[in-house]
Amino acid sequence: MADRNRTLRRKDKQEKEAGENTTEGKEGQKETENVQDNEEGPSAEPLSANDATANGENGDFQLEPMELPPFEIIAGDRIDPLAFKFQFKNVEYSSGRNKTFLCYLVDKGKAADGLLRGCLEDEHSGPHAEDAFFTQCLSDYDPSLKYAITWYMSSSPCAACAAKIAEVLNGKKNIKMSIFASRLFELEEAEIQAGLKALHKAGCKLRMMKPLDFSYTWDTFVENMDQPLNLWEDCKDNYEYYHEKLSDILQCT
């Protein structure tokens, strides 16, 4: 009888342990399912017409293209004085000067027409002022006239613009051109140096702006309110630095 009771107790204990294991297994499975549900995120809801457009046909997120306004060259007769003092300053490191200012004089050789004068302003991310000059300011080009063109620039032309100017000068022998630049743009780059040499070879007179050239540009192209230009302290030293660099580039074969 005692043996039978011990056997029953062992059987009850085994059944109880088996029941606890089953309960723990179900609870563990339930927790696992909950974790998986949380990882998968909330159930998807029906997409509206706008959602379908934003997410695309295959459910992948897509950005609709944004149409940007066209870049425009700014043309005028006078430059803001603060812009001139910043953009034309002939510093060695031109940080933040991401525009090109081009002041031009065009003499067509006809006394009745006088001088064509103006300014162009661009940003390096768009069409350049040099290219815009030929399309906007010489749109009425007459091959029977003799043109004398002078530019005063905040920075010398890039490689692409230099090639364009050289092409114009080589193809139109009735155009004579002089460029006075405040700074040399990326003067250490080989393609820039090649462009300056091409300009020189095409007959363009390349010069760095002297202190007197800055004063002339200020008087002629800037809204100066009849105020004189106070040149920065190192203007002459910086001119001599750039003048030497340009001479080395043009003399190098």
Residue 57 falls in the annotated catalytic set: no
Q: Name the residue with higher pLDDT: 13 or 87.
A: 87
Determine the average pLDDT of the residues in 215-243. 96
Phi, psi at residue 192, to the nearest 5°?
A: -65, -45
Q: β-pairing, 147-153 with 175-181?
A: parallel
pLDDT of residue 149: 97
The C-alpha atoms of residue 162 and residue 191 are separated, in whole angstroms, by: 10
Looking at the predicted structure, is the pLDDT value of residue 152 above 50?
yes
pLDDT of residue 58: 52
User: CB within 8 A of 81, min separation 6: which ones?
Assistant: 218, 222, 223, 224, 225, 227
Helices (H), 125-189: 129-132, 159-171
Looking at the predicted structure, is the pLDDT value of residue 37 above 90?
no
The encoded tokens of residue 197 equal 């040499």
pTM above 0.75?
no
User: CB within 8 A of 179, min separation 6: which ones?
Assistant: 150, 151, 153, 156, 157, 199, 204, 205, 206, 207
Determine the average pLDDT of the residues in 206-222. 97
Q: Which of 24, 72, 123, 130 is catalytic?
A: 130
Looking at the predicted structure, is the pLDDT value of residue 75 above 80?
no
pLDDT of residue 72: 54
pLDDT of residue 70: 43
Q: Name the residue with higher pLDDT: 131 or 213.
A: 213
Q: Looking at the chain, how many residues does it have?
A: 253
The encoded tokens of residue 106 equal 């065009």
Q: Which residues of 126-136 are buried (b: 16+ CB within 10 A; e: fewer)?
A: eebbbbbbbee
Q: Name the residue with higher pLDDT: 20 or 203.
A: 203
Determine the average pLDDT of the residues in 115-129. 82
